[in-house]
Chains A and B, each alone.
Chain A
C-alpha cells in the first residue's frame, strides 16, 4: 500500500505542476486555457530538440538537464505570453464562450503545429538526457540498476525523488511569490477586481503576461521532466494530461493555488489506488469520474467556496 501511495504522489506532482498554470490563469482572467496542456507537450519537445541539437550537450552529464530545463522555461513561458497577447487579449471583453473556443483552437494549433514539425510518431527521449541513467549504478552483469530509497515498506527511485523534490520546491517558491511579493499581490488584486487594481497603479496587461509566463514555464518544466522520466513523448501527450490537470484544479478548487497542488496530489493518489483495486485499464476513467463528481456535488472543490475568487 505504501508503494501505491508513493506512486500516486509522484504522478500527482505532474498533475499539480500543470494544474497550477490552469488555476492561475483561471484565477486572473476567468479563462479555462485549454491550450495549457499543449504547452506542457511543447516543453517536452523543446527539451528533446535541445538534447539532439545543442553540440556537446552530452558532455555535461546531468547538467544537460539543467540546460534544457532553462531553455524550455524561456521558450514555453514566451509562448504562453504570446498566446495571451495575440489570441486572448483582443477578446478580453468578448463573451466567455468566444475565448474558450479560441483556447481550444489554440490547443489544436499547438498540437498540429508540433506534429507538422516533428512528425506524428512518438519521439524517443535522447539517451543523453534520461534521468534514470544518471541515477543508477551498473551491477556485476553490466545491467543498469536504478538507485532507490526505501520508504516504510515501499521505495522511490532517485529519479522519482528528484522530480518530486523539484516539484515541491517550485510549488513552494510559487506560493511565496504569489503570497508575499508585490507582484504576487498585484496578481491576486487583478483576480479580485481588475478596475480597482489598475486604480492602484497595477499594469494589468503586464501582470497578466507575467501570469501566463509563470504558468506556462511550470508546464514546460513538467514537460521536460516527463520526457526525462518516461523516455518517450508524443504531440498529443498534452491533451490527456491537460484534461487531468484541469480535473485536479477543479478538485482542489479552481483559481486557488493551494487547491491546484492539493488537487493534483489527490488525483494522483485516487488514480493510483483506483487502478490497484480495479486494474490499470481503468486509469483514465477515474480522473473524469471525479471531475463529474466534483462538478455536480462540489463545484467549488475541496478548498471551499470563497476561495474560488482567490488566487
Chain B
C-alpha cells in the first residue's frame, strides 16, 4: 500500500457523480501531479483527501491511518495541508493574520512566529507586506501567501490546487521553484495543475484524470513525452 492511497472511490455531489472508481497512490517524499481537463475531478480529489468531501464508496488511507471519515480540521492537525483552488485568502485580514491562521493547530506561539519568519525568508515579498490586507495583494502575492499559510503547520503532505493559475510565466517558474524547495525540505507534494508543462518539470510522477477516473499514469518524464499528453495538455 502506498503512503497515501486512494482506492476505488466514488464521490457524488447530490446526484452528480464527480469521481468514479478513482484510485491512485503517493509515496512519501514524492511530488505527484494530477492532470486533467476542467471538471475532471481534480479539486474534488484534493478536497476528499482533505476531508472536506466524503466518498460514497472506496477508501482513503494515509500514513497508516484510514482517513476516509476523518474531519478536515483533524487532518490539518495530523499533517495534511491544502492550498485551495482560487487561493481563498482571508481578504480583510493582514498577511500576518492569514499566516497565523495557517498555524491555528500549532499551540506553541514561538513555533508559529519562527515558521512565519521562515515563510518570509522563503518569500520576501510577503515579509515586506506583512501588515497589508490579504485582499489587496496582487494575484501572485496572494498565491505566495496561500502557499506560505499552508506551510505554518509544517505539513507532511501538501496538496496544491492550481498554484500557477493566473500567474505570469516568470512567476509560475518562481512558484514551481518554491514547491520544489519545499519538497526537498521533506514535504510530500500532491499538485493539481492546468499548466502541465510546469508541473511535469518538478513532479516525479503524474496521473491523468478524466471524468473522475485515472486514464494515464507514469513517471513525469515519460508522460511529458507521451503523445496523448502532449496533444491534450501540452498543446503542441
Provide the bound-state CA to CA distance between A193 and B93, in Å. Answer: 12
Provide the bound-state CA to CA distance between A185 and B112, in Å. Answer: 15
Query: A58-66, A168-176, A194-202, A289-297: which one contacts chain B?
Result: A194-202
Scan residues 166-224 of chain A and give those whose CB is less than 8 A from a CB of chain B. Answer: 182, 185-186, 188-189, 192-193, 195-204
Main secondary structure of the interface of B (DSSP, over half): loop
Q: Are A201 and B90 in contact (CB under 8 A)?
A: no
Q: Which residues of B contact A189 (CB under 8 A)?
A: 90, 93, 101
Q: How far is the CB of B30 from chain A (nearest CB, A)?
A: 22
Q: How far is the CB of B166 from chain A (nearest CB, A)?
A: 18
Provide the bound-state CA to CA distance between A265 and B67, in Å. Answer: 50
Provide the bound-state CA to CA distance between A196 and B100, in Å. Answer: 13
Q: Which of B71, B92, B102 contacts A200 (CB 8 A)?
A: B102
Q: Are B84 and A195 in contact (CB under 8 A)?
A: yes
Q: Are A201 and B82 in contact (CB under 8 A)?
A: no
Provide the bound-state CA to CA distance between A309 and B182, in Å. Answer: 34
- A185-B100, A189-B101 known; A201-B76 Cβ under 8 A: yes
Q: Which residues of A contact B149 (CB under 8 A)?
A: 200
Q: How far is the CB of B191 from chain A (nearest CB, A)?
A: 16
Scan residues 61-83 of chain B and give those whose CB is less than 8 A from a CB of chain A. Answer: 71-73, 76-77, 81-82
Q: Which residues of A contact B90 (CB under 8 A)?
A: 188-189, 192-193, 196
Provide the bound-state CA to CA distance between A154 and B102, in Å. Answer: 51
**Could you tell me which B residues sit within 8 Å of A by CB distance?**
50, 52, 71-73, 76-77, 81-82, 84, 88-93, 97, 100-102, 104-105, 149, 153
Q: Which residues of B contact A309 (CB under 8 A)?
A: 91-92
- A192-B90, A199-B76 known; A186-B84 Cβ under 8 A: no
Q: Which residues of A contact B76 (CB under 8 A)?
A: 198-201
Which has the most chain A C-beta neighbours within 10 Å: B89, B90, B91, B102? B90
**Could you tell me which A residues sit within 8 Å of B by CB distance?**
182, 185-186, 188-189, 192-193, 195-204, 306, 309-310
Q: Which of B84, B92, B97 contacts A199 (CB 8 A)?
A: B84
10 A-B pairs with least C-beta separation: A201-B76, A201-B105, A196-B88, A198-B72, A203-B73, A201-B104, A200-B101, A200-B104, A192-B90, A201-B73
Q: How far is the CB of B160 from chain A (nearest CB, A)?
A: 12
Q: Are B93 and A188 in contact (CB under 8 A)?
A: yes
Q: Are A199 and B77 in contact (CB under 8 A)?
A: no
Provide the bound-state CA to CA distance between A200 and B71, in Å. Answer: 12
Q: Which residues of B contact A310 (CB under 8 A)?
A: 92
Q: Are A202 and B52 in contact (CB under 8 A)?
A: no
- A185-B101, A189-B101, A193-B88 known; A199-B93 Cβ under 8 A: no
Q: How far is the CB of B193 from chain A (nearest CB, A)?
A: 19
Q: Which residues of A contact B91 (CB under 8 A)?
A: 192, 309
Q: Are A185 and B73 in contact (CB under 8 A)?
A: no
Q: How far is the CB of A72 from chain B (nearest CB, A)?
A: 31
Q: Which residues of A contact B52 (CB under 8 A)?
A: 195, 198-199
Q: How far is the CB of B128 from chain A (nearest CB, A)?
A: 22
Which has the most chain B C-beta neighbours within 10 Å: A195, A197, A200? A200
Q: Are A204 and B84 in contact (CB under 8 A)?
A: no
Provide the bound-state CA to CA distance between A203 and B74, in Å. Answer: 8
Q: Which residues of B contact A201 (CB under 8 A)?
A: 73, 76-77, 104-105, 153
Q: Are A306 and B92 in contact (CB under 8 A)?
A: yes
Q: Which residues of A contact B72 (CB under 8 A)?
A: 198-199
Q: Which residues of A contact B84 (CB under 8 A)?
A: 195-196, 199
Q: Which residues of B contact A193 (CB under 8 A)?
A: 88, 90
Provide the bound-state CA to CA distance between A188 and B133, in Å. Answer: 14
Q: Which residues of B contact A182 (CB under 8 A)?
A: 100, 104
Q: Which residues of A contact B102 (CB under 8 A)?
A: 200
Q: How far is the CB of A156 from chain B (nearest CB, A)?
A: 37
Q: Are B73 and A198 in contact (CB under 8 A)?
A: yes
Q: How far is the CB of A309 from chain B (nearest CB, A)?
A: 7
Q: Which residues of B contact A200 (CB under 8 A)?
A: 76, 101-102, 104-105, 149
Q: Which residues of A contact B82 (CB under 8 A)?
A: 199
Provide the bound-state CA to CA distance between A72 and B88, in Å. Answer: 39
Provide the bound-state CA to CA distance between A199 and B80, in Å. Answer: 9
Q: Which residues of B contact A198 (CB under 8 A)?
A: 52, 71-73, 76
